Structure 1
Amino acid sequence: MTRAIYALLLSLLLLAGAGCQESAESSAPATADGAAAPIPTPSLAAYHDPSGQPADDRLSGGVRLISITTPLGNFKVWTKRVGNNPRLKVLILHGGPGMTHEAYEAFDSYLPQEGIEYYYYDQLGSYNSDQPKDLKLWTLPRFVEEVEQVRRALKLDSSNFFLFGHSWGGILAMQYALKYQQHLKGLVISNMVPSIPEYDAYAHQVLGPKLKPEVLKEILAFEAKKDYGNPRYMQLIEANYYPEHVLRLPPAQWPEPVQRSFKHVNSQVYVSMQGQSEFGVTKGAVLSDWDVKAQLPQLKVPTLAIGAEHDTMDPAQMKYLAEHVQHGRYHYCPNGSHMAMYDDQQTYFKGLTAFIHDVDRGTFPAAK
């Protein structure tokens, strides 16, 4: 009896906390003043109820291996669902390229209490998914088609589908939205600018001079010789660049999920698309000339751009992104870096969840 009462109280608390949420759908019942009536967050029991999910999802605790087709054959990619909400489903595109979903496990501390369903996903080549070796697979258009196949398999659509992309995942999310925005309810670009050449310029012209002169000189000497495998090169980066601009803690103190993701990186994918430099993108890498600034006005879907003061990416460019899509918002993390979901965590998730709820209940600002 005590356990039953406790479960009931938890469910009532979740419902009470969601009382201000409103639906964006015209079919929602109206209040006396004509506003859309609140639609409650799913109860605790409903949020964790897997009965409506496919059999393989239920059997494996939300994990599904999704078959994808590529020009070089068929492969499987790993996904894991957390929660249930028919209106709010977030697909997380991890960074890298070649990193893993593991770096985003902080989402477990914030999204469930908001009633948001979300999907971890290791892209092809990443740790839990198939890892083919053919370099011809590592192209942006092929990754876009992979995301579309994952969307279809998970049955996500414009009534519920929020696409979240961080770092490289932000590039992939922008490129996906430019082709398939009709399937999106909302788009989140976290810690990624819309131009790689401008990212490179920011790294060398703004962030580089902030390093100690002797450190910068030594880093650039290694890069000039393309001696990226030298242990001293990574020692300099990890001791001086990472704690300032990637995650603002000494790397030995980084949260365990982040360390695990770095341990599981697929270097072949990373080097092919990003290059070997940790101080920008190597010229000649797949992504070195990527730039969609001129295409931003084509994006009509509600869009959140998240920037951070100490990021490897210029926060002014994230603000630019939000201002040049048709329906954008900029969220700034004053104490954060590239992994602001850890080093400015409260600010980060407050802005992320507010955006999702605002879009859902129709209170997101109208298009420009």
Structure 2
Amino acid sequence: MSRITEGTMPFQDGETWYRITEPDAPTPGTLPLVVLHGGPGMAHDYLRNLAVLADETGRTVVHHDQFGCGRSSHRPDAPAEYWTPQLFVDEYAALVAHLGLGDHHVLGQSWGGMLGSEIAVTQPAHLRSLAICNSPASMQLWVDGAAELRAQLPADVQDALTKHEQAGTVDDPEYLAATQVFYERHVCRVVPMPADFVDSEAQMEQEPTVYHTMNGPNEFHVIGTMRDWTVIDRLDRVAVPTLVVAGEHDEATPATWQPFVEHIADVRQHVFPGASHCSHLEQPEEFRRVIAAFLAEHDDQPTG
């Protein structure tokens, strides 16, 4: 069985919470994996099952709740301009240094993959590989993809979404029910939603500052500060091997992640048939198999 350690590190004027899962029998030469959660603002819980990689591959797995999320310090009164990708790039760098990780891999899911690309373009010295999972390379591509998927919803669902968005009543039960139809098609096709996803969503809804400020009220009505975000023009700076994965029915449609494949020098892609945005919850064993194989290719080789 693996060994779990939880702790906090000072960050900004508060602290960042982290969770380290270490294998009882580490495999020689394997490097730690840092897992970046999505949202922005969803906390790490829905990615908890990736900690199983510790036992399956003999590597250490590090999760954390990003600043403003989950068990880390919250800043509901911070101005909108406080919440930037750079804040979370700095937090990642501080965490790697605080834990003394040295060479390591990064896996980011959804917003976490966007953050992973922001980290990789800075070419940090100890980053050995990057897995971008279910992520867009720009928010405009994300919005365009969401519009295409939304147009495929039943007419009454589309009408309910449009009516409440125009009226500003996005907390109306009819709107939330219509949103759920989209989520069950394109966010997580496991019904009912897995408990880990429900836990992350509940934490976000309890204190939604980061998500509502940077994104908006939901996955396809993006009106937050990230609305104009793009990394496409910087992707040629990514210097590590990169794996891009998505689900067949993902709200991250192929057009949203294609720029990663086109502009990163050492890149490969994998699509999970039948899965959507939370591929790791829908097909956990297959997801971990694909990730583990990629990581193993880019670990240190044992000496002697």
* TM-score using structure 2 length: 0.90
What residue is the counterpart of 2:281 in the other structure? 342
Mapping of residues 46-61 of structure 1, within 5 Å: 48=3, 61=4
**Displacement of 1:316:** 4.2
Change (3 A) 1:346 1:318: farther
Structure 2 residue aligned with 1:106: 49
Query: Which amino acid in 1 is paired with 2:86?
Result: P
Aligned pairs, how many?
A: 293
Q: Which has the higher contact order (CA 8 A, sep 6+)?
A: 2
Equivalent of residue 189 in structure 1, options 116, 132, 135: 132
Correspondence 1:67 to 2:10: yes
Could you tell me whether the CA contact under 8 Å between 2:107 and 2:113 is conserved in 1? yes
1:76-115 matches, cutoff 5 A:
76-84=15-23, 85=26, 87-115=30-58
Q: Which residue of 1 aligns with 2:252?
A: 313
1: distance between equivalents of 2:122 and 2:33?
A: 18
One-letter code aligned to 2:150: G
Give 3-state SS (helix, strand or coil) of 2:125's partner.
Answer: helix
The residue number in structure 1 matching 2:226 is 287
Determine the C-alpha separation between the residues in 2 that align with 1:279 and 1:194: 16
CA positional deviation for 1:181? 3.2
* Counterpart check, 1:330 vs 2:269: yes
1:226 aligns with 2:168: yes
Q: Which residue of 1 aligns with 2:91?
A: 146
| 8 A Cα contact 2:123 2:239, kept in partner | no
Do the aligned partners of 2:30 and 2:300 also contact (CA within 8 Å) in 1?
no
1:210 aligns with 2:152: yes
One of 148, 169, 185 as aligned partner of 1:244: 185
Q: Cα–Cα, structure 1 residues 215 and 118, in superposed 2: closer, same or farther, change >3 Å?
A: same
Matched, 1:171 2:110: no
Q: Distance in 1 between matches of 2:53 and 2:190?
A: 21
Higher-Rg member (1/2): 1
**2:145–2:255 Cα contact (<8 Å) kept:** no
Contact 1:334 1:344 in 2 (8 A): no
Question: d(CA) in 2 for partners of 1:347 and 1:316?
Answer: 23
Q: TM-score, normalised by structure 1?
A: 0.75
Three-state SS of the structure 1 residue aligned to 2:108 is strand
For residues 296-349 of structure 1, give each alpha carbon's deviation from its aligned partner in whole angstroms, at most 9, with x where no partner exists: 111111111111111111134334413420111112111111100011223321
Opposite residue 190 of structure 1, the aligned amino acid is C
Q: Distance in 1 between matches of 2:133 and 2:221?
A: 17
- Give 1:237 shift: 0.9
The letter of the residue matching 2:179 is: I
* Contact 1:103/1:261 (<8 A) preserved: yes
For 2:64, the equivalent position in structure 1 comes to 121
- Corresponding position of 1:57: none
In structure 1, what is the Cα distance between the partners aligned to 2:17 and 2:48?
Answer: 15
Question: What is the root-mean-square deviation of aligned Cα atoms in Å?
Answer: 1.8
Q: How far apart, in 2, do the equivalents of 1:349 and 1:232 lie?
A: 37
Could you tell me whether the CA contact under 8 Å between 2:129 and 2:242 is conserved in 1? yes
Unaligned runs of 5+ in 2: none
SS of 1:220's partner is helix
Is the Cα contact below 8 Å between 2:53 and 2:61 reproduced in 1? no
Q: Identity percentage over the alignment?
A: 27
1:235 to 173, 177, 187: 177
In the alignment, structure 1 segments of 5+ residues that lack a partner are: 1-43, 49-60, 363-368
**Shift of residue 173 of structure 1?**
1.2
Contact 1:199–1:280 (Cα < 8 Å) also in 2: no
Determine if contact 1:89/1:116 at 8 Å carries over to the other structure.
Answer: yes
Q: Contact 1:319–1:330 (CA<8 Å) still a contact in 2?
A: no
Name the amino acid aligned to 1:93. L
After TM superposition, list the pairs within 5 Å mapping 1:154-169 onto structure 2: 154-157=99-102, 160-169=103-112
